[in-house]
Chains A and B, each alone.
Chain A
């Protein structure tokens, strides 16, 4: 008995409509598979590239405590990348192919990591705003329709909460310090606020993939919904911290029971996505040389394994 493609598609759509998860060996539409590979790969690459901006501060952390925290955090990012690469590979791609596509620029990573971290306060701001935005994006993805992706997101979300809290605590500590330290925090927030808002992607009317992704249960909320949620969550945190978010249009709208806020500079967003951000070339160069410099370790491990097998 042969099953027609129409029947398979019907079965797939019924699974998604029931809110059941799709698992790797299930039949799935080719476009669903491709969309997932693109999204999970981009997510995995972001975790891996995301080690760099903060990694620069490990050797310059102001105390052993802060250094240990930062090391643990950067190690988590590597772990998150590995969870996600594994999930992506269940869709029929390989680690080698994913690595090559990152290094050749064929697959993207989140634009936020193309911004520099010239100040130690950036370590705190990244934890608070960048990881905070990531959590906003990722919590709904725990219920995404593809099983391995959802399971990876559950693990990641548990660990991200440490990332956000350590960042906020770092900033609170600096805010209790000198005027100079408070100015450092404000300056860092000024630089990261708009790029953090851009992490949710282009506005809904300029996000062609959103509708299909939501129909497939891959995405659960639109970009603008999540951006609004993030702003509403962050405003009271900024107040408690004593910093000003750099948006003159930001105010509470009691009619909407939500904050109104200004429009991010989408020209800047697209320029960074297209490779013209402040650190695009530097990030990829560093990832390439890390991959090449690590080749002997991979070769040695294989030689050692072959030796052991004999």
Chain B
């Protein structure tokens, strides 16, 4: 028998916040993955909502920071508010 597939688990810790990745687990199907995620990752009210997704369904960028993937944002300082000089007497900026 082959191993149960790997799932990644995401939790929303309370209303108003994003789901955040908390870890992974093995389960035979989606329903069991949710139940196992509840038992493994929410024994102390850590979440109000759980997402599980098969790890093999995730498409990821390369983690290497030299990857050209993120180069386009590297030299565009004008995208940040601190790029612009505004006189101090101008309020609410």
Contact = CB atoms under 8 A, between A and B. Distances in A.
A86 B24 contact: yes
Interface string B59-93: 01011101000000000000000000000000000
Main secondary structure of the interface of A (DSSP, over half): helix
B23 A309 contact: no
Given A299-B1, A301-B32, A308-B31, A83 B43 contact: no
Interface string A289-310: 0000000001101101100110
A23 B63 contact: yes
A79 B40 contact: yes
A301 B24 CA distance: 18
Contacts of B3: 94-96
Contacts of A298: 1, 4, 28
Interface of B: 1, 3-4, 6, 22-26, 28-29, 31-32, 39-40, 43-44, 60, 62-64, 66
B28 A301 contact: yes
B9 to A, nearest CB: 9
Most chain A CB atoms below 10 A, which of B28, B44, B60, B64: B28
Interface in A140-165: 151-152, 155, 159
Nearest to B26: A95
25 contacts: A23-B63, A24-B63, A25-B62, A25-B63, A26-B63, A26-B64, A79-B40, A83-B40, A89-B6, A89-B24, A152-B23, A155-B23, A159-B43, A159-B44, A298-B28, A299-B1, A301-B28, A302-B4, A302-B28, A304-B28, A304-B29, A305-B29, A305-B32, A308-B29, A309-B29
A302 B4 CA distance: 8
B60 A25 contact: yes
Interface residues of A, number: 29
B23 A75 contact: no
Contacts of B31: 308
Contacts of B24: 86, 89
Given A75-B43, A94-B3, A305-B32, A86 B62 contact: no
B32 A76 contact: no
